[in-house]
Amino acid sequence: MEAKIKLDRDYKVGEVDERIYGSFIEHLGRAVYGGIYEPTHPTADADGFRGDVIELVKKLGVPIVRYPGGNFVSGYDWEDGTGPKENRPRRREMAWGTIETNEVGIDEFQKWAKLANTSVMMAVNLGTRGPADARNLMEYCNLPAGTKYSDMRIKNGYADPFGIKLWCLGNEMDGPWQICAKTAEEYGRIANETAKVLKWLDPSIECVVCGSSSSGMRTFGRWEAKVLEESYNNVDYVSCHTYYNNHAHDTPTFLANNLDMDYFIRSVVSTIDYAQVITRSRHKVNISFDEWNVWYHCNEDPNAKPFERWSIAPHQLEDVYNFEDALLIGSLLITMLRHADRVKVACLAQLVNVIAPIMTRNGGGAWAQTIFYPFMHCSEWGRGTALVTNVECDKYDSGHYTDVPYVDSVAVYNEEKSEVTVFAVNKNLTEDIVARVDMRSFEGYRVAEHITMHHDDVNAVNTEENPYNVVPSSNGKTTLDDGTAEALLPAASWNVIRFCK
């Protein structure tokens, strides 16, 4: 089987915003307690942060982390996580049914973010709270001194402002599971007023308004249109959230889910542009895909034990990812890169333990799950300009989808480094595919590396005992001659083909 991949340095989708490789930490399960923070762990520093986790986060090159939620934020009093720890209250956390100890709050998370070479994407509570509390949080985080909350931060030991530049206006406010869910009209107005207040305090920030919780919501489309009608000129991004599953245990259909993400993105872009027209605005709003991943394994685990309600940091939503999950994650990353002109922020949900690329054992090891590697590769080599990448190949029909290309691919050109990277997934489970890549507009380039990731068992996983069961290898076969690269894409594989001068 063969494929043709055509690209040209002059045909560009758009610049890749590095924040597309963001992630997410919520006060949920063991994401914080037992994930990034475990004071008794052998690798913990003086502040209780696990050093082994920080090193893995650094390998991912995550530029931004959304915090503190998620559903959690709609009932969160941010002040609980500031000041001396011995004075912080314990509370029943209503979104996930646990006890929140508040040992980690914005102060500690800002410190952790610096250690992990990342920055904070702050979410504000627009469920039980509103614009006034968001204003106070902004004052605490970003104002230098001389006001009540900026002076509170200084008293708590943080003389310099945190300088947080990206703010989420609540979370999934259309969802009936959300504390104090709202109609589109209600939410659009409060989001608009919150954005106004935040930007009055710090005009340098950007705001993300909540889109639909998923494209399957009954109000999808109408929600975005109404919310943006109320808030368009004061917000900068609309959030998209989506999770995929393979409950049917149908791998070809599962691997085709990137087509659904593509439809989702195009639909939201159309609605944003409609809102721009009806508001008669010159302002440009883009997409923050700030929750996306595969999520279903924990619901099918026969050994999973129900956690005790009102316990502290129980095992919740700890999906163990397999090889086919890594293939889909690769395709979802490719899909977002193909929309790099409008998808400017994205957050893989989440970062540690809870539906995450990194897993830990309390008191034990930390290891990379299968989905860690495609994300790491894109974060490292997917920075620059996304190119229009035309793929010609055979297609298949399966489940909900028809005309699914066997090869999913995108190229990113980093002019500063004189590098071109082609990311490609072969979705054919049984046949290798020879891909011929048109490189004529990159005269003088050579093949630097061809990384492949393949396993004969699509259900293979990584564990603490066997953390390198499913890993990439630089054993790919690509040649370049007379402007055409010929790359062998193994059956069921993730591929990173790097060219440089």
Q: What is the mean pLDDT of residues 88-95?
A: 98
Strand, coil or helix: what is 23? strand
The pLDDT value recorded for residue 359 is 98
- Residues marked active site are found at 172, 291
DSSP string, 40-66: TSTTB-TT-BBHHHHHHHHHHT--EEE
- pLDDT tens, 261-300? 999 999 999 999 999 999 999 999 999 999 999 999 999 9
Percent of the chain with pLDDT over 70: 100
Q: Which two tokens stand for residue 163?
A: 């300088």
The per-residue b/e assignment along 416-428, b for 16 or more CB within 10 angstroms, e otherwise, is: eeebbbbbbbbbb
Please give the Cα distance from 82 to 176 (Å, whole number): 30
- Which residue type sits at 386? A
Q: How confident is the model at residue 193 (pLDDT cuts 50, 70, 90)?
A: very high
Does residue 306 register a pLDDT over 90?
A: no
Q: How confident is the model at residue 304 (pLDDT cuts 50, 70, 90)?
A: confident
- pLDDT tens, 371-382? 999 999 999 999
* Contact in structure between 370 and 470 (CB atoms under 8 Å): yes
Strand, coil or helix: what is 228? helix
Please give the Cα distance from 34 to 3 (Å, whole number): 45
More confident residue, 302 or 146: 146
Does residue 61 register a pLDDT over 90?
A: yes
The pLDDT value recorded for residue 254 is 98
- Nearby residues of 172 by Cβ (< 8 Å), 6 or more positions away: 71, 178, 210, 213, 241
Q: What is the mean pLDDT of residues 2-15?
A: 98
How far is residue 472 from each of residues 313, 318, 327, 413, 500, measured CA to CA in Å?
A: 32, 23, 12, 22, 20
SS3 content of the chain, % helix, strand, coil (to 5): 30, 30, 45
* Contact in structure between 185 and 230 (CB atoms under 8 Å): yes
Quote the mean pLDDT of the chain: 98
Q: What is the mean pLDDT of residues 38-58?
A: 98
